[in-house]
Structure 1
Amino acid sequence: MRLRHFTISFAIVIFASCSVFRHTGKRGLLIESNKKALPAKFVTAIPFVQFTGGVIIVRAKINDDPDTLNFILDTGSGGISLDSTTCVQLGLKSHPSNEFIRGIGGIRPLFFAGDNTLVLPGLRIDSLNFHISNYDFISSVYGVKIDGIIGYSFLKRYIVSVNYDSMKLYVYTPGHFKYGRGGELLHPFIHNIPVINEPIWNRKAVHTRYYFDMGAGLCLMLSDKFAKDSCLFCKPNQRRHKFVKSEAQGLTGKIEMTQTVIQGLKVGKYYFHHVPTYLFDDVSNVTAYPFLGGLIGNDLLRRFNVTLNYPEDQIYIEPNAHFFDPFDYSYTGMAMYFIDGHVMITDVTKDSPAYKAGVKPGDAVLGINTNFSNNIQEYREQLKATGSRVHLIISRDGVVQDIRLPIKSIL
């Protein structure tokens, strides 16, 4: 079975993001790449917006079509892809292949729409082969239409600096590049998707490899096998951990997960403490365990301005204005999606805060407290206030109800 192109990023339904951390190192010498090459040349600056979990959305067009589309920028994507409905609307022809997409929820055959052009502000990228997939579930997570994912097929051609302070992508041609001072230059292994080797600790330190996944709306995800074999949660006399059930919607299906917190994670010279973590059963072997232990997602990585230099197998990270943003440990136990114009509760975990408060699958969320925007991302932000009780206004069988929902913490 051939498994060349694959994407491992996914959208977490019940988000648990990040906390405080410290860093080492002082502002030092200028960090540069490939001094013998010609200087990298600036190409364009591309504005972006951020969705829940730090996920980056850029606007682009396909070929000469006038419609502007929403794309996720994703280092966890081994190519470039387009939503199947968008493909039909644009009149593109797709063809089956002998390749497959491997995702968190399983494996599916790939269809391609070949030799197309991606049009970004100030940049046209020709000769792209889009793989075609159904992204309805991603659209339902964020409440807006997601038309595609931009990954390796774009990133391998340029140096791309992601600046969360200016909310822009700065694109350069490959060559000699001056990164800056005081940050950290990582040297990942890049074969479609960057992989970094970093220590994690939970009473004891364990080294493993992770996907560097800027398309994943979480901080850290570990495979159950890695957690078990490394005994991260089983050392005698360690403090008691909370483990709560959750779910995630991957590119190829929905899976159950467990949320918890690990004591620490190091990325380069930067230390993160009490990191919200998802544990999952890697049934489709996305992590190719024991090659990888899991992935580091963008709710952690968004705290750095990141320069992706795939041509030199380098990633430069430097703390930005979000460096000291607290982690989010909130937990309600309910899954929300935007479906047919409504924010819907699709699943409630047994014995969770939402379950005990009387929330049921099929409830339509009309508002939270005084917010009746019907904006699922704004609602998720309001559900991060751990230790509080919110007014969850729902409609059930045509009857409006006000449910007092407690927001618990996984810490």
Structure 2
Amino acid sequence: MKRHLTTVLLASLALLNLATESVPKIYMCPECGCASDAVVFGKPGNCPSCGMVLVEAKDRHEVEMRAMQPVASLHFPEGKKSVTFPFELIANGIYLPMRVNGKGPFAFELDTGSFNSIVASELAVEMGIQTTGTTTGSGAGSGSFVAGKIKELSFEFPEGVTASTRAGTSVSMAGLWPLIARRMYGDIGHDVIQYCVVQIDYEKKLLTLHDPASYHYNGKAQAIPFTLWGSYDPQIDGEVIVDGETPIPVKFTLDTGAGGTAITTPLVEAHHLREKVGKVLPAFDNGAGGGEAKLVTARLAALRIGPYRINQPLVALTNDTQGSFASKTLGVNLGANILKRFTVIIDYSRKQLILEPNAHLEDSFKADASGLVLKAGADNFRVFTVRALVPDSPATEAGIQPGDRLTAIDGDPLDNYALWQVQELLQKAGTSCQLSVERGDKRFTATLNLRSLL
């Protein structure tokens, strides 16, 4: 009897302990369309894949059920396995006319470097799109930014391809508008484009979306296997080549949303690239959420990407200590100044990248030839002010000063141009141009004898 009572007492104590012992909390990533959506984390923090702040889960069943229900979907028109339509190439970005929740079209950028699709908060307010809570993200030049979570988004591409996602977010895009002198209203990211084979013909400015189930590549280019950085961004092997140095093995991370190519801070520091590349020029890069990265532009001997050697490319060397460019694993952010020399085919289902060279593969990379670092202001983003000057450059020799406003080049009013187009006008090394300048209430003309500064 004593033995039986002792057993009952011990069992009761065990039940009491179970009842009073706290159940360990578990956490999960807010839905973003990445593989991390199905991962359970034992403590709070940020998702190691997409960087979003982890949220507490009710139980493991909640995570398992989410994994069974895709966060996004994409559908082709009946009877079609692929569709092709034109895009605008603006400052090397791919812009599409997208309908959002049945309204539009609005200018959206195709961005392989975004883990989810984004609607500009400016458009969300205009359309009355409600957000349900907030999360954080990271981008160029920012440690993090606050994003509103959108419960349901629907998109319609040209030619009738439709998509929906529960991973959408709302972030301010206003910091990106000055470069292109127009309002762009969002990104189409990995959560949506992972469901198709994406073919970008930069030369013809045509985008083709293929159904992966029926897609077969018939070309002659080599298929390059990739892994997914952060569970969303294609990443391939390659090399950075600096004159007089052993080639540096690196990872190239594909980013169609980036106009240029950037080498992240850990790589720059580990290989002392600032000291080895020679002359550099100041530059700035803006990201979603209002972040600004302070960079320098340099010319390398070459980059090796798959089977291709890209000679004398211009790249940005970053020094960010926060944000995506501070990542130890991102490597080289491969942007469209290089990608546009190819037809780019991204096959997410087979994890392979195909680069077909076009007629521009061996075009030279033109550097600034003026020494002017400009910013665009006013409501139309077409008022150009001198932000900074490169020492001993055509601009300083012509007497230009920070704060001067440029109004025309060779008599052509600059209110006809976006900032990126003005920058291209100032790359014509070996020529001269007449700048119309305003300084306070004074107006004068300055002659710039343009020469390549890199």
Could you state the TM-score of these two structures normalised by the residue count of structure 1? 0.83
Paired amino acid for 2:384? M
1:132 counterpart residue number? 170
Task: Spell out, residue by residue over 1:5-32, the C-alpha distance to the aligned partner (whole angstroms, 9 max, x if none).
Answer: 469xxxxxxxxxxxxxxxxxxxxxxxxx
**CA 1:284–1:388: 2 relative to 1, 3 Å:** same
Say whether residues 1:339 and 2:382 are aligned partners: no
Paired amino acid for 1:50? L
Q: Give me the whole-angstrom Cα distance separating, in 1, the residues matched to 2:145 and 2:237.
A: 29
CA contact (8 A) 1:211 1:295 kept: yes
Q: Which has the higher contact order (CA 8 A, sep 6+)?
A: 1
Say whether residues 1:297 and 2:335 are aligned partners: yes
Q: Give me the whole-angstrom Cα distance separating, in 2, the residues matched to 1:233 and 1:98.
A: 35
Paired amino acid for 1:381? E
**CA 1:92–1:360: 2 relative to 1, 3 Å:** farther
Q: Give me the whole-angstrom Cα distance separating, in 1, the residues matched to 2:296 and 2:50.
A: 28
SS in 2 for 1:311: coil
1:27 counterpart residue number? none
**CA 1:285–1:113: 2 relative to 1, 3 Å:** closer
**Structure 1, unaligned runs of 5 or more:** 8-39
Q: CA deviation at 1:132?
A: 1.1
1:156 counterpart residue number? 194
1:378 counterpart residue number? 421
Greater helix proportion: 2
SS in 2 for 1:351: coil
Q: CA deviation at 1:241?
A: 1.6
Say whether residues 1:245 and 2:282 are aligned partners: yes
Paired amino acid for 1:185? A
**Structure 2, unaligned runs of 5 or more:** 1-44, 53-78
CA contact (8 A) 1:348 1:355 kept: no
**CA 1:86–1:260: 2 relative to 1, 3 Å:** same
**CA 1:160–1:405: 2 relative to 1, 3 Å:** same
Q: 1:199 aligns with which of 225, 239, 254?
A: 239
1:19 counterpart residue number? none
SS in 1 for 2:324: coil
**CA 1:403–1:60: 2 relative to 1, 3 Å:** same
Q: Give me the whole-angstrom Cα distance separating, in 2, the residues matched to 1:371 and 1:182.
A: 45
Greater strand proportion: 1
CA contact (8 A) 1:187 1:314 kept: yes
Say whether residues 1:315 and 2:357 are aligned partners: no
Say whether residues 1:260 and 2:301 are aligned partners: no
Paired amino acid for 2:378? I
Q: Give me the whole-angstrom Cα distance separating, in 2, the residues matched to 1:381 and 1:259.
A: 15
**CA 1:168–1:51: 2 relative to 1, 3 Å:** same
1:87 counterpart residue number? 124
RMSD: 2.4
Q: CA deviation at 1:169?
A: 0.8
**CA 1:234–1:343: 2 relative to 1, 3 Å:** closer
Say whether residues 1:2 and 2:46 are aligned partners: yes
Task: Spell out, residue by residue over 1:105-136, the C-alpha distance to the aligned partner (whole angstroms, 9 max, x if none).
Answer: 32112212221111111212123432111111
1:365 counterpart residue number? 406
Q: 1:388 aligns with which of 417, 431, 436?
A: 431
1:113-192 aligned within 5 A? 113-121=150-158, 122-190=160-228, 191-192=231-232
**CA 1:128–1:365: 2 relative to 1, 3 Å:** farther
CA contact (8 A) 2:265 2:325 kept: no
Q: Give me the whole-angstrom Cα distance separating, in 2, the residues matched to 1:64 and 1:185.
A: 37
Q: 1:222 aligns with which of 239, 255, 263?
A: 263
CA contact (8 A) 2:435 2:445 kept: yes
CA contact (8 A) 2:51 2:136 kept: no
Q: Give me the whole-angstrom Cα distance separating, in 2, the residues matched to 1:285 and 1:69.
A: 28
Paired amino acid for 1:275? P
1:110 counterpart residue number? 147
SS in 1 for 2:151: strand
Paired amino acid for 2:143? G
**CA 1:329–1:95: 2 relative to 1, 3 Å:** same
Paired amino acid for 2:452? S
Q: Identity of aligned pairs, percent?
A: 20
Paired amino acid for 1:216? A
SS in 2 for 1:61: strand
Q: Give me the whole-angstrom Cα distance separating, in 2, the residues matched to 1:359 and 1:179.
A: 53
Paired amino acid for 1:199? E
Task: Spell out, residue by residue over 1:238-295, the C-alpha distance to the aligned partner (whole angstroms, 9 max, x if none).
Answer: xx72122222223342232112111111111110111112111131152564323331
Could you state the TM-score of these two structures normalised by the residue count of structure 2? 0.76
Paired amino acid for 2:292? K
**CA 1:111–1:183: 2 relative to 1, 3 Å:** same
Say whether residues 1:101 and 2:144 are aligned partners: no
Q: Give me the whole-angstrom Cα distance separating, in 1, the residues matched to 2:139 and 2:414.
A: 36
Q: Give me the whole-angstrom Cα distance separating, in 1, the residues matched to 2:404 and 2:295.
A: 22
Q: CA deviation at 1:68?
A: 1.6
Bigger mean CA offset, 325-334 vs 283-292: 283-292
SS in 1 for 2:99: strand
Q: CA deviation at 1:229?
A: 1.6
Paired amino acid for 1:229? A
Task: Spell out, residue by residue over 1:203-224, the C-alpha distance to the aligned partner (whole angstroms, 9 max, x if none).
Answer: 2211011211111111x31134
Q: Give me the whole-angstrom Cα distance separating, in 2, the residues matched to 1:378 and 1:245.
A: 18
Q: CA deviation at 1:233?
A: 5.8
1:49 counterpart residue number? 88
**CA 1:96–1:359: 2 relative to 1, 3 Å:** farther
**CA 1:101–1:169: 2 relative to 1, 3 Å:** same
CA contact (8 A) 1:141 1:338 kept: no
Q: Give me the whole-angstrom Cα distance separating, in 1, the residues matched to 2:51 and 2:364.
A: 32
SS in 2 for 1:171: strand
Q: Give me the whole-angstrom Cα distance separating, in 2, the residues matched to 1:99 and 1:138.
A: 19
